[in-house]
């Protein structure tokens, strides 16, 4: 992802403004590849319509974490054991006051050649700052891309010097021969004189037990990643940022089926690796002292080599290069956490069936009128918790699989589940009795249809929808103090027309993928008014894939790939921000860019306080 500005001027073609004067998120050049930084019609460099991080007008102080760090371990290219690269961090000189914004900027590059997509994660003091996946190069084309994250919420973490590390599982072998280079910088934007500082967490605590950071692996639903904390006794709010990234047999979990249906549907798979069991549902459960405390969806991320690598050139899947965490509100448990005793926070992945990487950070906000440790401790209790001890609850699988007139397996598999819970807790504070209620609802549907239109044809249609709604309300002495409402919709669909040529992996397949990510958020506060924001992302891509090229990284094969793609993004909020972007591609080349459509003046505008990259985390007041 990148906010590099590329300027174009060519004619309107068929009503489509092929290249207009617009900033787009495109690959930025790195010293290792020497590619031209100017985007051109026909460019094959990574480009995305996803919104950038908004910036204040103040001049930032920069702290370099990594400078062209090289990842070129030699060994087994299929190994999942990565060697970490350490670095030392010190707070920025000249920007020691409050920060209006803290932005992480990372630039990646991989020279032309052959290499898999790899998982990368960045850590500081054990806290995860970034989690994502790299792009694959082509034999004749290097790739470079740029990612950013708004880390203002984590400002407390950057007040002291400490060690960090990056973990990038890249291996050089006879068949995967290219290193990956990474540069990472933190930018600290001072608050303008007379402007209030944003509200941020008082403490950011790592779930990782490694002081530098780690990404534990969860392989079954029963495994729990947890850590014990003894917290300050004046916590008013708490939340957990969680990322659960699927790997190995879980990578394309939305294509999986219950084990009892595995053999009869195996021939529809694009590869044996994808013919996975374990069912088609995955989710996250957060626990406090072993007690269920909250749920979170797992986004169906698709890596740069996922399903078919030619699908993601030049535009990667939504959040592929920078996965966003889901924030689980643990505020109803604040009274429990304030008792001065050790408490465990845990994470498990519901439905996990081989390999999930997990990262989680605990954010705590302390009561403003109490002092720690000098002030009186706060106390409270959980008043109501309807989240059951067995998850996922209410998940059903229905099958109409049967043999057609020719004895070929056809039919549907439908996995459906609804989860609703309410958690309410009270906290006795110097201001009075503070009651927080979290109401959560998740609707999940995965529908897989299997068709056999011919002896050598295997058609599969997967439609999945995960709709998450969360409402949080805080009442002080019986009167509403603030509220937050989130509605998130994360659909994915996969259409495959697979034709066997001979047997095994000798086939070709027309593949179409659609990903979406829609967020609506409403905040109110007394006093403070209200805040509204909406983000809508859609990505469509299709290609003709060949069985022998689906698993390995991109190679020099001269197959007639027919990639066609389009990504559209729209963001608006009540601060006056408006962002709209659209990119189109054909045969793995950029063919069109538009921005600012339906925005005032036909151009994009982002207020510095807006959070288009993660809008439900946008604070109501600065």
**468 pLDDT higher than 70:** yes
**40 pLDDT higher than 60:** yes
The reported pLDDT for the residue numbered 175 is 84
The reported pLDDT for the residue numbered 546 is 84
Domain-located, residue 192: yes
Higher pLDDT, 41 or 466: 466
**10 pLDDT higher than 60:** no
Instruction: Give this prediction's pTM.
Output: 0.91
Provide the domain limits for residue 192.
5-617
Q: How confident is the model at residue 367 (pLDDT cuts 50, 70, 90)?
A: confident
- How far is it, in rounded angstroms, from Cα 500 to Cα 184? 45
**What phi and psi, each to the nearest 5 degrees, are found at residue 119?**
-80, 135
Q: How confident is the model at residue 597 (pLDDT cuts 50, 70, 90)?
A: very high
**156 pLDDT higher than 80:** yes
Q: What is the mean pLDDT of the chain?
A: 88
- How far is it, in rounded angstroms, from Cα 70 to Cα 585? 31
- How far is it, in rounded angstroms, from Cα 121 to Cα 129? 8
Poorest-confidence range of 71-85, 254-268, 365-379, 478-492? 365-379
Neighbours of 61 (CB within 10 A): 17
The reported pLDDT for the residue numbered 5 is 25
**29 pLDDT higher than 60:** no
**What phi and psi, each to the nearest 5 degrees, are found at residue 239?**
-150, 160
Q: What is the DSSP letter of 572?
A: E
Q: How confident is the model at residue 276 (pLDDT cuts 50, 70, 90)?
A: confident
The reported pLDDT for the residue numbered 257 is 93
- How far is it, in rounded angstroms, from Cα 416 to Cα 447? 8
Task: Give CA angle at 334 (328, 337), nearest 5°.
Answer: 105
| Residue 424, strand partner residues | 384, 437
- How far is it, in rounded angstroms, from Cα 439 to Cα 458? 43
Q: How confident is the model at residue 96 (pLDDT cuts 50, 70, 90)?
A: confident
For 411, the enclosing helix (H) or strand (E) is strand 409-429
- How far is it, in rounded angstroms, from Cα 322 to Cα 130? 7
**283 pLDDT higher than 50:** yes
- How far is it, in rounded angstroms, from Cα 545 to Cα 543? 6
Find the farthest-apart pair of alpha carbons in the chain and give their distance in angstroms, rounded: 79
The reported pLDDT for the residue numbered 555 is 75
The number of helices, as runs of H, and strands, as runs of E, in the chain is 3, 38
- Is 390 exposed, middle or buried, given 0-12, 13-18 or 19+ CB atoms closer than 10 A? exposed
Q: Cβ distance 580 to 569 under 8 Å?
A: yes
- Residue showing tokens 């990038």: 168
The reported pLDDT for the residue numbered 273 is 55
- How far is it, in rounded angstroms, from Cα 82 to Cα 251? 18
Number of domains in the chain: 1
- How far is it, in rounded angstroms, from Cα 473 to Cα 486? 12
SS3 273: helix
Mean pLDDT score, 502-522: 90
Domain-located, residue 622: no
Higher pLDDT, 415 or 355: 415
Domain-located, residue 146: yes
**What phi and psi, each to the nearest 5 degrees, are found at residue 556?**
-90, 15
**31 pLDDT higher than 90:** no
Calculate the CA 603 to chain-centre distance.
27
The reported pLDDT for the residue numbered 565 is 96
- How far is it, in rounded angstroms, from Cα 324 to Cα 296? 12
The reported pLDDT for the residue numbered 390 is 82
SS3 339: coil
pLDDT tens-digit readout, 402-411:
999 999 999 9
- Residue showing tokens 């609506």: 520
The reported pLDDT for the residue numbered 472 is 96
Rounded to a whole number of angstroms, the distance between the first and last alpha carbons of the chain is: 27
- Residue showing tokens 């009442």: 475
Task: Give CA angle at 146 (142, 147), nearest 5°.
Answer: 140
Mean pLDDT score, 48-61: 94
pLDDT tens-digit readout, 210-239:
877 788 889 999 999 999 999 999 999 999
Q: 39-50 burial by CB neighbour count: b if 16+ within 10 A, else e? A: beeebbbbbbbb
The reported pLDDT for the residue numbered 28 is 38
**What phi and psi, each to the nearest 5 degrees, are found at residue 621?**
-120, 155
**9 pLDDT higher than 70:** no
Q: How confident is the model at residue 174 (pLDDT cuts 50, 70, 90)?
A: confident
Closest by alpha carbon to 48, among 579, 597, 615, 568? 568
SS3 170: coil
Mean pLDDT score, 451-463: 96
**What phi and psi, each to the nearest 5 degrees, are found at residue 220?**
-140, 160
pLDDT tens-digit readout, 549-576:
676 788 766 666 789 999 999 999 999 9
Alpha helices in 93-217 (DSSP H): none
Poorest-confidence range of 27-36, 183-192, 370-379, 607-616? 27-36
- Residue showing tokens 């009128």: 369
Q: What is the DSSP letter of 550?
A: H
Closest by alpha carbon to 337, among 360, 355, 362, 354? 362
Q: Cβ distance 609 to 603 under 8 Å?
A: no
- HEC per residue, 481-543: EEEEEEEEECCEEEEEEEEECCCCCCEEEEEEEEEEEEEEEEEEECCCEEEEEEEEEEEEEEE
- How far is it, in rounded angstroms, from Cα 141 to Cα 588? 12
| Residue 85, strand partner residues | 166
- How far is it, in rounded angstroms, from Cα 533 to Cα 537? 14
Q: How many CA atoms lie within 13 A of 176 on its CB side?
A: 25
β 402-403/379-385 pair status: unpaired
Mean pLDDT score, 536-551: 87
């Amino acid at each position: 992802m990148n906010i590099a500005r590329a300027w174009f001027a060519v004619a309107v073609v068929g009503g489509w403004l092929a290249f207009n004067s617009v900033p787009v998120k495109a690959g930025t050049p790195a010293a290792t590849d020497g590619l031209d930084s100017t985007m051109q019609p026909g460019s094959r460099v990574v480009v995305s319509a996803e919104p950038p991080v908004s910036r204040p007008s103040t001049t930032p102080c920069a702290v370099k974490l990594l400078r062209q760090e090289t990842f070129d371990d030699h060994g087994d290219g299929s190994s999942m054991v990565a060697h970490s690269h350490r670095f030392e961090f010190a707070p920025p000189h000249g920007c020691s006051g409050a920060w209006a914004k803290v932005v992480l900027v990372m630039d990646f590059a991989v020279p032309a050649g052959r290499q898999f997509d790899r998982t990368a994660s960045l850590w500081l003091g054990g806290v995860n700052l970034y989690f994502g996946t790299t792009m694959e190069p082509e034999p004749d084309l290097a790739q470079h891309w740029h990612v950013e994250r708004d880390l203002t919420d984590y400002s407390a973490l950057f007040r002291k010097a400490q060690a960090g590390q990056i973990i990038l599982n890249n291996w050089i072998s006879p068949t995967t021969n290219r290193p990956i280079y990474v540069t990472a910088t933190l930018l600290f934007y001072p608050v303008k004189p007379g402007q209030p500082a944003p509200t941020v967490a008082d403490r950011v605590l790592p779930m990782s037990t490694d002081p530098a950071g780690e990404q534990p692996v969860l392989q079954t639903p029963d495994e729990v990643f947890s850590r014990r904390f003894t917290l300050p006794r004046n916590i008013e709010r708490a939340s957990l940022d969680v990322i659960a990234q699927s790997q190995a047999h879980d990578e394309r979990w939305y294509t999986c089926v219950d084990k009892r249906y595995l053999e009869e549907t195996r021939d529809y798979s694009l590869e044996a690796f994808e013919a996975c069991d374990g069912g088609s549902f995955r989710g996250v459960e957060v626990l406090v002292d072993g007690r269920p405390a909250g749920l979170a969806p797992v986004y169906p991320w698709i890596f740069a080599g996922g399903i078919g690598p030619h699908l993601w050139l030049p535009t990667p899947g939504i959040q592929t290069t920078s996965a966003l965490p889901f924030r689980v509100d643990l505020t109803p448990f604040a009274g429990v956490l304030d008792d001065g005793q050790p408490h465990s926070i845990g994470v498990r992945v519901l439905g996990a069936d081989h390999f999930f990487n997990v990262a989680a950070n605990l954010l705590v906000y302390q009561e403003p009128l109490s002092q720690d440790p000098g002030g009186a401790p706060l106390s409270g209790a959980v008043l109501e918790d309807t989240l059951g001890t067995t998850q996922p609850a209410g998940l059903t699988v229905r099958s109409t699989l049967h043999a057609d007139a020719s004895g070929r397996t056809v039919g549907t598999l439908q996995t459906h589940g609804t989860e609703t819970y309410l958690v309410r807790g009270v906290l006795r504070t110097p201001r009075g009795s503070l009651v927080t209620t979290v109401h959560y609802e998740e609707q999940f549907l995965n529908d897989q249809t299997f068709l056999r239109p011919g002896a050598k044809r295997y058609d599969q249609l997967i439609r999945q929808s995960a709709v998450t709604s969360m409402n949080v309300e805080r009442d002080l002495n019986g009167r509403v103090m603030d509220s937050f409402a989130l509605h998130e919709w994360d659909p994915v669909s996969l259409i495959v027309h697979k034709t066997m040529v001979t047997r095994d992996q000798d086939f070709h397949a027309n593949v179409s993928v659609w990903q979406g990510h829609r967020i609506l958020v409403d905040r109110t506060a007394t006093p403070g008014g209200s805040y509204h924001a909406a983000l809508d992302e859609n990505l469509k891509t299709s290609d003709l894939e060949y069985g022998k090229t689906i698993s390995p990284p991109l190679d020099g094969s001269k197959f007639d790939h027919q990639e066609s793609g389009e990504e559209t993004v729209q963001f608006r909020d009540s601060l006056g921000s408006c962002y709209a972007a659209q990119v189109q591609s054909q045969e793995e080349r950029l063919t069109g860019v538009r921005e600012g459509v339906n925005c005032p003046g036909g151009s994009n505008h982002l207020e510095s306080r807006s959070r288009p990259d993660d809008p439900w985390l946008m604070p109501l007041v600065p």
